[in-house]
Amino acid sequence: MELVAPEPGLIFWKSVSFLIFLYVLYRFGWGPITESLEQREEEIDSSIRRAEEALQEAKEIQAENEEARRKAEQKAQQILRDARESAEELREEEEAETRRRIQQMQEQAQAEIEREKQAALQELRDEVADLAIQAARKIIEEDLDADQHRQLVHDAIDDLPKN
Q: For residues 18, 22, 23 and 28, what is the CA-based torsion angle, rounded to 10 degrees?
A: 130
Mean pLDDT within 101-113? 94
Longest dimension (CA), the chain: 196
Q: What is the pLDDT of residues 22-47, one digit of tens each?
A: 888 888 888 888 888 999 999 999 99
Q: How far apart are CA 37 and CA 31, in angstroms?
A: 10
Provide φ and ψ at 144, rounded to 5°.
Answer: -120, 155
Q: How far apart are CA 150 and CA 138, in angstroms?
A: 13
The whole-number pLDDT of residue 25 equals 85
The whole-number pLDDT of residue 59 equals 95
Buried b / exposed e over 105-134, threshold 16 CB at 10 Å, is: eeeeeeeeeeeeeeeeeeeeeeeeeeeeee
Q: How far apart are CA 102 and CA 31, in angstroms?
A: 104
Taking the CA atoms of the chain, what radius of gyration do you get in angstroms? 63
pTM across the whole model: 0.41
